[in-house]
Amino acid sequence: MTTASTTDAEQFAATNFDFIIIGGGTAGLAVASRLAENPALTVGVLEAGVKAIPNDEIDIPAYSGRPLGGPFDWHFQTTPQPGLGGRQLPWNRGKVLGGSSALNFMTWNRASKEDYDAWEQLGNNGWGWQSLLPYFKKAEAFHPPPPEFKDNHQASYNERSEFLGEKGPIHVAYSRDFSPSHSLWHATLNQLEIESNPAHLNGSNTGVWTTIVTVNPDTSTRSYSAHYCLTPPSNLRILTKALAQEVILEQHGTDSEWTATGVRFTHQGHTFTASASREVILSAGSVQSPQLLELSGIGRPDILAAAGIPLKVANPNVGENLQEHIMLPQVFEVDPSLPHPDDLFNEEIAATAYEQYLRDRTGRLTVLPCSMAYLPVSNVAPEPIFHRLASKSQALTTYSPDHKSIQADRFTRDKNLGQVEYVFDLGNWNPTFTPDPSDGKRYCSMLQVLQYPFTRGSIHIRPSNDGSPSTAAQPPVIDPQYYAGPHGEIDLEIMVQGARFAQKICGTKPLANIIPAPASPPPSVVGGTDEELKKWVVENTITDWHPVGTCSMGGRAGKEGGVVDERLRVYGVKGLRVVDASVMPLHISAHLQATVYAIAEKAADMILEDL
């Protein structure tokens, strides 16, 4: 990134911006870059993290996961979760230029057509599959795999150009090399009558497939949102290490609407104010966008009063409607003769792999998890249990009628939607399973992820303890409500049945040929009762880092049902939008980044249309 893209705080504060974007992450940099394509506009970005280009921990595919918990992470935690036995979970979020797109595991997929159409059914016009497809394509540059990958790795795709982008800033491709277990994945699921899906980006992701990743195949490095701004124009200015404290709202006249006119931020211990003549765009993510709205006086009156924040715009939906993919990592023993990620703990093997990577951009350091399947609950749960779960979903009363109808409709047998995701990979992915390294065993993991959680949580600013107002430096209160109440009972039952099916997958040949035994849960739990397995699920559930919904689009319900309208404008405030995953009103069956880029691309077009 050139020095023209960064500036110091005093210069930033003195600039007359048309737009200021809070958050230089997945969505924020995409929006900023597209707005700055208009040379008549001056665009500023405030990012709390640092610039980390280049950085091996971020760039090298096999190192994905290493930055979690490090200096590029916000280090958020949930509140103690009664549904998880009182455990608190870490909620890793990217604190670096590029945001969480610099920390994620690089999976690139889209949800099924019905997921996006559901947003439009809520009254959010223009947010269905057909309207979003051009923006998925605009963000991506798809690189077709070598012909032999189709036969050797099931790296299939639909060659029809109307589904794949070719010129976007985010490079997407199949991995250069694959885990030795991947050759068994499709055949195993096919044995269970789960068909391979060669066109999983085309509006239906159900079935088994080999995932595409956000890696530039020419360099074998991560492709992420910072690459939108590698050669920024002079009218785009980015300030790193800048923590936004609040959106400045002004009111002209006693009865007039509030207007966003700028941002107050801190940089290296000093406080500054920057002005935006057109709009402030909040792209701080599902955790911090609601936090900043509340710090700015927009939100639930009692939450703001407890935090010492003067109320400007009352909206009880800010920070509510939190939906998060729930993940369960099961661990199995695996054939120790297979090449394994743990080999890289050997300094000699690691050095050789690094040399190969630098020399020709191939080898172990290009391998990423790619063995995936998305299945309906009807594939996972026995018939009587499926019907019981469907009846429970129909009986829920706390959703709005529109939300309830869509959520329950996803549970009908004829809906071919990926309600449970499975990812198989070598290595131990369970943070609660810590085997003795001296036992000489190697492990693999089956990750199962609930895609349409019934549970709804919240994210809010902290109440004041000493009478002083809450600040952006204080982490928000994150309460996902895992497995809580009647909604959580449904989620938990699905996860228990999903765990049984995961054991079935790993007990089916040819995958079973490399798996001697289960490790976590142990054989005693695998062969035990549902109650014993349920206890293990509660003790081992973790986050999949996919929170959405905390500043959701209100649709036809308007301010009564959300925080922003279908053009992502905050209700009750002029010149303020939210552009990130928090605007999704209902969760989707997919990893988030491709959809977040599409939201950002669409938002940029809408903002330019509204000039």
CA 570 distance to own-chain centroid: 22
96 is in an annotated binding site: yes
Active site residue 546: yes
Question: Can you tell me which residue has the tokens 């695996």?
Answer: 334
Rounded Cα distance between 460 and 87, Å, is 19
- Among 227, 325, 546, 587, the one annotated catalytic: 546
75 is in an annotated binding site: no
The pair phi, psi for residue 350, each rounded to 5°, is -65, -40
Question: Can you tell me which residue has the tokens 């599409």?
Answer: 598
State whether residue 7 is helix, strand or coil.
Answer: coil
Q: Residue 413: name the closest of 438, 373, 383 by CA.
A: 383
Which amino acid is residue 105, in one-letter code?
A: F
Question: Can you tell me which residue has the tokens 């009156």?
Answer: 301
Q: Residue 212: name the closest of 201, 220, 225 by CA.
A: 201
Q: What is the DSSP letter of 96?
A: B
Query: Beta-strand (E) ranges in 76-234?
Result: 76-77, 90-91, 107-108, 140-142, 170-172, 207-210, 212-213, 215-216, 221-222
Are 327 and 543 spatial neighbours (Cβ–Cβ below 8 Å)?
Answer: yes
Active site residue 171: no
Are 520 and 527 spatial neighbours (Cβ–Cβ below 8 Å)?
Answer: no
Quick count: other Cβ atoms within 10 Å of Cβ 301? 12
Rounded Cα distance between 541 and 326, Å, is 7
267 is in an annotated binding site: no
Are 106 and 217 spatial neighbours (Cβ–Cβ below 8 Å)?
Answer: no
- Among 227, 325, 340, 591, the one annotated catalytic: 591
Residue count (the chain): 611
State whether residue 344 is helix, strand or coil.
Answer: helix
Binding residues: 96, 545-546
Binding residues for FAD: 96, 545-546
Catalytic machinery residues: 546, 591
